[in-house]
């Protein structure tokens, strides 16, 4: 019985300074997965256009995300690093998925509702169809695993829905062309062309929260720079932001259950755990009962020790844009070859003469 070979895919939008949430929710996991899996990491520049069409600095932002990938430890030779628009098969498959997915599915997406706000009629069609392009990004490589932050969980579920509907709508053609792969869906063994991709969300900080409000996600678009730690922040700025981070007046609890109902404390403990590759339990075993005045300096020191080498290396890499462009061109070529193989099958399954 043939099976899908494990393959990791994930992407980051070139839409502003990367922050600790992007690092812990995504990039740090990208780095760790390289040891055990083949990985494809993408700067998703086509996604950047969905919320705002014109970006004066899209090229520089794309290079900056690439530099962050490499500085964090992604190996572009052993794996693949490229920018999405270099591989037009993403957009081609997204169109097909636009015809597979239902408008109702898109309308239910929390990210669309948040980003479109009250004036939904005026949001771009691209913003509505964002998850369809995301499904295409993943499935054009028939990727089996996607490391993401918790905010992307819903989009990953939709990717599975799209894969499942395609597999079932075209089941006869897939079987006729012998292009199916057997897989388990619940208790049932089915034959399909696309895998039902698994999200990789686990870890102690799947959703890093704002340093100013523990109930809000840390995000690039928050107006307050104090709400996030940027990967480009220097040591003094990181320490200042952690010192000013909102907390409650109680000391850290004696066990993890004591973090319930204390979002800011929970967030800082989760950040410490993720940065030191430990569990929250282990962090609480060390710091339980201590005041924030003792915990925050330890967190600052840890954050600086992890992030500073990355920002120094990012700056070094950004001094050589030709090198970065070379990485993206090489990655694009290798990604394109895999994507074209998938699209040949998909065109045949659908009946597009090509
Ligand atoms: N706060 C977060 N905690 C954990 N993971 C996060 N990610 C983003 N924010 C957090 C993860 O980072 C990856 C790249 O995300 P993206 O390129 O889609 O960027 P984004 O989600 O648009 O980033 P922001 O800061 O959240 O942007 P805005 O301000 O526009 O909403 C993804 O894996 C994401 O889960």
Residue 43 pLDDT > 60, yes or no?
A: yes
Q: How far apart are CA 77 and CA 38, in angstroms?
A: 11
Average pLDDT over residues 327-353: 98
pLDDT at 38 over 80: yes
At residue 51 the predicted structure's pLDDT band, cuts being 50, 70 and 90, is confident
Q: Atom 31 of ligand 1 has which residue's CA nearest to it?
A: 219
Domain boundaries, the chain: 8-204+320-350, 225-317
In angstroms, the CA 11 to CA 61 distance is 14
- The predicted pLDDT at position 187 comes to 86
Q: How far apart are the CA of 149 and the centre of ligand 1, in A?
A: 7
Residue among 24, 82, 145, 104 at smallest CA distance from 337: 82
Q: What is the pLDDT of residue 16?
A: 86
Which residues does ligand 1 sit against, CB inside 6 Å? Answer: 12-13, 15, 21-22, 24-26, 148-149, 151-152, 207-208, 217-221
Per-residue pLDDT for 153 more than 70?
Answer: yes
pLDDT at 1 over 70: no
Predicted pLDDT of residue 280: 97
Average pLDDT of the residues in 165-190: 92
220 noted as active-site residue: yes
Question: Which residue(s) pair with 217 in the sheet?
Answer: 209
Phi, psi of 87 (to 5 degrees): -120, 90
- Residue 103 confidence (pLDDT): 96
Mean pLDDT of the chain: 96
Supply the pLDDT for residue 290: 96
**What pLDDT shows up at residue 163?**
98
CA of 148 to the centre of ligand 1 (A): 8
pLDDT confidence tier of residue 188, bands split at 50, 70 and 90: confident
The pLDDT assigned to 61 comes to 96
Q: Of 153, 165, 220, 341, which is the active-site residue? A: 220
Same fold for the domain at 8-204+320-350 and the one at 225-317?
A: no
- Which stretches does DSSP call E strand in 143-187? 145-147, 181-185
Catalytic residue selected from 113, 118, 153, 217: 217
Kindly report, residue by residue over 53-71, the tens digit of the pLDDT.
989 899 999 999 999 999 9
For the cut 60, the answer to whether the pLDDT of residue 261 exceeds it is yes
Take atom 7 of ligand 1 and give the residue whose Cα is closest. Answer: 22
Q: Looking at the domain covering 225-317, what would its CATH class be?
A: mainly alpha
Tell me the CATH architecture of domain 8-204+320-350: 3-Layer(aba) Sandwich (3.40)
pLDDT for 98: 98
Checking DSSP bridges between strand 145-147 and strand 198-200, what pairing results, if any? Answer: parallel
What does the DSSP 8-state code read for residue 4?
A: P
In the predicted structure, residue 105 carries a pLDDT above the cut 60: yes
- Its pTM stands at 0.96
Structure confidence at residue 88 (pLDDT): 98
What pLDDT is stored for residue 354 in this prediction? 85
pLDDT exceeds 90 at position 189: no
Q: For residue 2, is pLDDT > 80?
A: no
| Residue 82 to residues 32, 41, 65, 76, 116, Cα–Cα distance (Å) | 19, 7, 10, 9, 28
Mean pLDDT calculated for residue range 127-136: 98
Active site residue 246: no
Choose which residue among 14, 25, 65, 275 to substitute to test ligand 1 binding: the one with the highest number of ligand atoms within 8 A of its C-beta.
Answer: 25
Report the range of poorest mean pLDDT among 185-199, 238-252, 267-281.
185-199
Q: What is the DSSP letter of 226?
A: G
Active site residue 29: no
Which residue among 9, 11, 17, 22 is best mutated to probe the pocket of ligand 1, counting the most ligand atoms within 8 A of its Cβ?
A: 22
What residue has token string 């929970």?
A: 266
Which of 12, 14, 17, 149 for a ligand 1 pocket mutation test, highest count of atoms within 8 Å of Cβ?
A: 149
Q: What is the pLDDT of residue 76?
A: 98
Tell me the average pLDDT across 2-13: 93
What is the reported pLDDT for 172? 96
Confidence grade of residue 258 (pLDDT, cut at 50, 70, 90): very high
> Which residues in the chain belong to E strands, given as ranges?
7-12, 38-43, 80-83, 145-147, 181-185, 188-192, 198-200
Ligand 1 atom with minimal separation from the 206 CA:
4
What's the pLDDT at 82? 98
């Amino acid at each position: 019985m043939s099976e899908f070979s494990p393959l990791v895919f994930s992407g980051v939008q070139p839409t502003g300074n990367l922050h600790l949430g992007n690092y812990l929710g995504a990039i740090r996991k990208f780095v760790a997965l390289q040891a055990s899996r083949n990985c494809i990491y993408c700067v998703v520049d086509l996604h950047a256009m969905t919320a705002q069409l014109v970006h004066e600095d899209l090229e520089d932002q794309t290079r900056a995300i690439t530099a962050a990938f490499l500085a964090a430890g992604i190996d572009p030779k052993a794996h693949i690093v490229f920018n999405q628009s270099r591989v037009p098969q993403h957009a081609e498959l997204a169109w097909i998925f636009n015809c597979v997915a239902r408008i109702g599915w898109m309308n239910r997406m929390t990210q669309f509702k948040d980003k479109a706000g009250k004036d939904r009629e005026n949001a771009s069609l691209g913003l509505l169809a964002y998850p369809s392009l995301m499904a295409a990004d993943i499935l054009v490589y028939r990727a089996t695993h996607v490391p993401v932050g918790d905010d992307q969980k819903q989009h990953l579920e939709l990717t599975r829905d799209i894969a499942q509907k395609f597999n079932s709508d075209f089941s006869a053609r897939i079987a006729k062309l012998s292009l199916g792969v057997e897989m388990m869906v619940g208790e049932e063994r089915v034959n399909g062309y696309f895998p039902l991709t698994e999200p990789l969300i686990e870890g102690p900080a799947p959703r890093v929260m704002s340093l100013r409000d523990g109930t809000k996600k840390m995000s690039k678009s928050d107006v307050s720079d104090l709400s996030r730690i940027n990967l480009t922040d220097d040591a003094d700025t990181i320490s200042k932001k952690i010192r000013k981070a909102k907390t409650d007046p109680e000391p850290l609890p004696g066990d993890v259950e004591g973090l319930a109902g204390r979002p800011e404390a929970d967030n800082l403990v989760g950040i410490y755990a993720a940065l030191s590759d430990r569990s929250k339990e282990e962090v609480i075993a060390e710091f339980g009962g201590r005041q924030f005045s003792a915990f925050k300096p330890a967190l600052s020191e840890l954050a600086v020790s992890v992030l500073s080498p990355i920002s120094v290396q990012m700056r070094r890499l950004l001094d050589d844009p030709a090198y970065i462009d070379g990485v993206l061109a090489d990655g694009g070529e290798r990604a394109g070859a895999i994507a074209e193989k998938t699209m040949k099958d998909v065109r045949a399954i659908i009946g597009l003469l090509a």
